[in-house]
Amino acid sequence: MARSSLDRHRTRLAVAASAIGAMACFAFIGVNRTRGAPLVALVDLGLGLALAANAVFAWRNRGSRAIAALPVGGMIVFLVIAGTHRALASYLWAYVMPPLVMAMVGPAWGLGLSALILLVMLAMLRVVPPTELDPASASLSVGASYLVTTLLAWLYERARLDHEAELDRLSTRDDLTGALNRRAFRRALAAALEQRRQHPAPLSVILIDADRFKRINDTWGHAAGDAVLQALADVARSVLGEGDQLGRLGGDEFAVLCRRPARGAPGSDAASLADRLREHAESLDFAFGGRVTVTLGVAAAEEGDTVDSLLARADRALYAAKRSGRNGVGVAGNSAAG
């Protein structure tokens, strides 16, 4: 699952859990006052207000692991107070915590927080044993059943996250080459342009087009064409720097998003990167005995650029290089300069 989607999921869960917990605490205020336990009712009021505040905190701090701190802390306080009633049923509320905290903060942190709650329960069962069972039996029953609940919650959350990660991969990656697919690349480029508007920094796009790719498919078959595309993607990944992103726009056309100027210090600008890509592609050997060259177009982001306008300038630079004989790099000029 994408990070923003995961954060939204955890935030909604934290808000809902905190709100339900707050309402439960407020409901128990009247119950405990009727039972003649004003101190417990006062604690219920405090926990209810704290959980209500946590719902607001979770909404304002989306994605923060701190959103689980108050529910876990509140549960520990509840167990300490409820345990003094010596009723085994008081510990049932703790069983909702393993699936809740793992969904809120992930399997690893959730496992640790669940273990903390278990230690508190076991300590209370030893210090203030329930009237239904002796301390050893109570600790064994609660401990074993809670561990099973925790294990099932951990396995479920791991499987859910793995499944969502696979769905995310399938929705954003090109099956053949492993590069970002067209939609994902355009989304990444749009995000980079928005970030550049807020914090100006160099940003360029490189378009890569395999020369005479149709001839490869027609002469040696589509399997050979697929091998060429996979090799080009592998070469690009080996050359790209940290933070550069590779996408396949369709057919034999790839694109690279890089945070560097189109032209600048030799060896560190986008034009130099494009030339290294061209050289590495030209050096590839294929089983069908042929060689492949690529033509590339480079364009730097300018003020007011959109995804389409930036890609269009890189595309024009690419086709200018193709008209000059292929196996080359074209660099778009500054559009403001005419």
Given a contact cutoff of 8 angstroms between Cβ atoms, the answer to whether 13 and 103 are in contact is: yes
Q: Is 252 annotated in the active site? A: yes
Given a contact cutoff of 8 angstroms between Cβ atoms, the answer to whether 52 and 19 are in contact is: yes
The span from the CA of 330 to the CA of 326, in Å, is: 10
Closest by Cα among 45, 109, 44 to 72: 109
Output the CA–CA distances (angstroms, integers) from residue 36 to 33, 46, 81, 90, 93, in the order listed: 5, 18, 15, 17, 22
Closest by Cα among 161, 193, 185, 226 to 304: 193
From the candidates 44, 252, 269, 315, which is the catalytic residue? 252
Closest by Cα among 245, 207, 233 to 292: 233
Orientation angle between helical segments 97-105 and 3-34, nearest 10 degrees: 150
Q: Is 297 helix (H, G, I), strand (E, B) or coil?
A: strand
Burial state string for 125-158 with b = 16 or more CB within 10 A and e = fewer than 16: beeebbeeeeeeebbebbeeebeebbeebbeebe
What lies within 8 Å, CB to CB, of 152 at 6+ separation is none
- Looking at residue 67, the DSSP 8-state letter turns out to be G
Distance of CA 326 to the CA centre of its chain: 39
- What radius of gyration, in Å, describes the C-alpha atoms of the chain? 30
CB atoms near residue 171 (< 10 Å): 11
Q: Which residues are the active-site residues?
A: 252
